[in-house]
């Protein structure tokens, strides 16, 4: 039976460790005022570089510093910079960025955003999901026969058949999930552009 002394010893060793962990988390966390100060500096740096002759790479890095995200570039940031609640729109945009096509004018500025895929494409991916999901579930639907065939292939050392019986349902499952992911992202992109079109507020220059 564990003695009270042993329990006390263990707790005595754990408490300082917990205190040190909590203190370290507190120390690493920046003060809100410092975070706002850094945000202001980043915003000023971005505003200055908009009219500068710096390379596109430098402008991209400054934009990423402002947004604190790697998967966005200067032109996209400059576009959303013209609207109220920039951070909110950028956060939503980054999530569906691969499914949206920026329209760039002759001055190399984004003037509008369009869907890269049609809704018909989204429906196609959704149909692909249902088709391959059904194929992936065939072993579960006919579980008794599937187990019998699988066991027979193992008993007869027909490893190629065993391999196909196991791998193909898994592969179909991954394809189904991929189709569902694509369909969801296309739908999310449509919803984002619809909300952005109706709710955006242009900053007066």
Q: Where are the domains of the chain?
A: 31-103, 119-191
- Evaluate whether 138 touches 169 at the Cβ level (below 8 Å): yes
Per-residue pLDDT tens digits for 30-41: 555 555 566 677
Average pLDDT in the 84-90 region? 87
46-73 pLDDT, tens digit per residue, is 777 777 777 888 888 888 888 787 888 8
Q: Quick one: CA dihedral 125, 128, 134, 137, positive or negative?
A: negative
Long-range contacts of residues 154-163, Cβ cutoff 8 Å, at least 24 apart: none
Considering Cα of 8, then 13, then 19, then 21, what sign does the dihedral take? negative
Host H or E run for residue 79: helix 74-80
The SS3 of residue 171 is helix
Q: How far apart are CA 17 and CA 11, in angstroms?
A: 10
Q: Are 100 and 116 in contact (CB under 8 A)?
A: yes
Instruction: Say what the pTM is.
Output: 0.71
For residue 13, what pLDDT is reported? 53
CA–CA separation, 65 and 144 (whole Å): 57
Q: What's the chain's average pLDDT? A: 80
- pLDDT band for position 28 (50/70/90)? very low
3-class DSSP state of 10: helix
Q: Percent of the chain at pLDDT above 90?
A: 31
* Tens-digit pLDDT profile for residues 106-150: 888 889 999 999 999 999 999 999 999 999 998 888 888 888 887
Residue 186 tokens read as 């296309």
Whether the predicted pLDDT of 80 surpasses 60: yes
The CB density around residue 122, as the number of other CB atoms within 10 Å, is 21
């Amino acid at each position: 039976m564990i003695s009270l002394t042993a329990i006390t010893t263990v707790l005595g060793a754990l408490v300082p460790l917990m205190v040190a962990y909590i203190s370290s988390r507190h120390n690493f966390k920046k003060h809100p005022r410092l975070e706002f100060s850094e945000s202001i500096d980043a915003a000023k740096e971005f505003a200055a570089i908009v009219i500068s002759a710096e390379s596109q790479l430098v402008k991209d890095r400054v934009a990423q510093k402002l947004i604190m995200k790697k998967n966005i570039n200067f032109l996209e940031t400059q576009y959303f910079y013209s609207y109220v609640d920039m951070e909110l729109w950028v956060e939503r945009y980054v999530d569906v960025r691969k499914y949206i096509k920026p329209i760039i004018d002759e001055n190399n500025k984004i003037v509008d955003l369009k869907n890269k895929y049609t809704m018909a494409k989204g429906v196609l991916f959704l149909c692909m999901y249902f088709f391959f999901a059904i194929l992936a579930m065939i072993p579960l639907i006919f579980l008794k026969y599937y187990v019998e065939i699988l066991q027979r292939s193992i008993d007869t050392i027909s490893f190629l058949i065993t391999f196909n019986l196991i791998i193909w349902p898994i592969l179909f499952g991954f394809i189904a999930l991929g189709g569902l992911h694509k369909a969801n992202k296309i739908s999310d992109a449509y919803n984002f552009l619809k909300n952005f079109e109706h709710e955006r507020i242009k900053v007066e220059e």
